Structure 1
């Protein structure tokens, strides 16, 4: 008789097995193989690392050009557990050449991560002992999900009160739809939509943490002065370079999101060799730029930009590999609530199920299945994407995300709390 032990239950099983207590931590470090990808490693260093990983009992995947040093730099994939990586780190510390000291720093940070937190504009600290939920409040007439639209201060305040009562840690207020194909509103229109809402919510709920969803620095600055704590910039501060100065001066935290182009043309730019690697490199590069300006990791949140200049396969790949971002020092936000990819995936699945049912009925009635045809599908509309959103939230929790941005607060909070209870028991 045997059974597989879940990774989350490994500590429990070791303790109940009666393992010698000082050995528990050592064995935990051996219990999980975690692939790590190192980018642009000097080729001699890549050969050294491969040999040291093999000697430690792990492995290292390298391109075929590595052994002959035919190219100056390569990406490599380490295959090991915590024990292998600690052994590798010890060995590499003795080698101050071929750029190895920089790799040592990366491994040290990975093996000894600091708790993630976010310092807000007013000095409060948001800690991620549990995954936080950001509730979406759209003061726009044309957001892709009609259920999220709010007009009039009374309706907005009612929605804010509901979300806070349901467990939202942050309220994200947006005055411009940035769905694919949408046209921008004027700065004056966005200003008129957002600022009265910010002031009203902050007056009624002074302790609420507010985020403003804008790429315009002037609006962000005014919003922070009105009580906003966080800036959610879908352009990662590329649309308006003065946004960096706003963050410096106001001490607001900032969400940096990945996208290409703008809302009008971004879906024509879904071209990547490796979407996970390119999005990760881009966001870490933007974060590094802020850190050069003395804006700390405790002010920066990363968002892979689901649905922004990505097709369905690319969005799913980013959801699948979110830990490419969460392994870094910055909190990571997953913002996929009710988005098109969810509608497409669920629509395709429904079409396949319908096709299978029709084929089965044809066999029963006629003794033969119809000729195979390409399955057409209709996307599931935004109003029916709750379950798909919850699945993405669950995947984000397992990947180590710190926040999720959603339309449906209560349902996502309950899913997160239940999943966290299962994992920590």
Structure 2
């Protein structure tokens, strides 16, 4: 593949996310989304935030390392995770967002939630982006809420709930075709409700077998036909560590490898636990495919 062909196929034209306050997140180069877990049971124990001071220290370190977005979540979506109520999720998320907005007024903040009421309160508390693992399936008011709030929306593919999704992995017409149809229809619904900026997340690990996850990783380029930026959330997941006989704690090198594949296949956002390593990966892949003019 020539350098120009790589540029044309791996990096789409300039894209931006328009956020509250007139701020714009530039996706001309891929960006990194740092994970801030406010849950006590996230699958990667080292990602769990332990209080206010730890939250600010982690956020500062991520931003200094080059994170473009901080993603704050208060509901664990790992397979079989405990279900918590709306009030408890708000108690975890809202004070954290308020603290982050005060400490880092220029940072781009995302709220990881499938509940429209949490999303609405989170944007009022300082969130710029809604990151919905359910694609609006778990709260019928979510799409309308995103349209009313006029914030970017991450549309992910999942079936069922975190408690049931691993039993819903049958795709008679093929996984990728299912995703294309799913995103096509969901994007049309969002557009009709006024959502201007949409990011597609294929949902690695959500209602997909290990083999399906790896097939999807090699084929996410096919989702580019929808003309929207793609987010890849692969960090330390089972599809990385289980084939290697490792644990999430030992899966950093594997995560770098799959993130590289995702970038080569067109991903524009990497959602990760390890920001510095992901930023280095983005820079090296971008420099290789898009070398500076002599």
Secondary structure, counterpart of 1:413 in structure 2: helix
Return the match for 2:248 from 382, 385, 393.
Answer: 382
Partner residue in 1 for 2:171: 272
Q: Which protein, 1 or 2, shows the higher relative CO under an 8 Å CA cutoff with sep ≥ 6? A: 2
Question: Is 2:288 aligned against 1:422?
Answer: yes
Partner residue in 2 for 1:284: 184
Matches within 5 A, 1:390-409: 390-409=256-275
Return the match for 2:198 from 280, 300, 304.
Answer: 300
Return the match for 1:150 from 40, 43, 49.
Answer: 49
Matches within 5 A, 1:2-401: 6-8=1-3, 115-273=14-172, 274-296=174-196, 299-347=197-245, 380-401=246-267
- Contact 2:131/2:153 (8 A) holds in 1: yes
Partner residue in 2 for 1:412: 278
Secondary structure, counterpart of 1:327 in structure 2: helix
In structure 1, how many angstroms separate the alpha carbons of the residues matched to 2:16 and 2:223?
15
Secondary structure, counterpart of 1:346 in structure 2: coil
In structure 2, how many angstroms separate the alpha carbons of the residues matched to 1:345 and 1:266?
21
Once the two structures are superposed, residues 17-36 of structure 1 have per-residue CA deviations (whole angstroms, 9 ceiling, x without a partner) of: xxxxxxxxxxx99xx9xxxx
In structure 2, how many angstroms separate the alpha carbons of the residues matched to 1:220 and 1:398?
32
What is the TM-score with the length of structure 2 in the denominator? 0.94
Structure 1 residues 222 and 331, CA, compared in 2 at 3 Å: closer, same or farther? same
Between 1:120-129 and 1:303-312, the stretch displaced more is: 120-129
Once the two structures are superposed, residues 133-179 of structure 1 have per-residue CA deviations (whole angstroms, 9 ceiling, x without a partner) of: 00000011100001100121000000000000000000000001110
- Contact 2:144/2:193 (8 A) holds in 1: no
The Cα of 1:283 is off from its aligned counterpart by 1.6
Tell me the C-alpha RMSD between the 2 structures: 1.9
- Contact 2:81/2:163 (8 A) holds in 1: yes
Unaligned runs of 5+ in 1: 1-5, 12-27, 33-112, 348-379
The Cα of 1:422 is off from its aligned counterpart by 1.4
Larger radius of gyration: 1
Q: Runs of 4+ in structure 1 displaced over 4 angstroms?
A: none
Once the two structures are superposed, residues 209-254 of structure 1 have per-residue CA deviations (whole angstroms, 9 ceiling, x without a partner) of: 0000001111110110111000000011111111122212211111
Secondary structure, counterpart of 2:262 in structure 1: helix
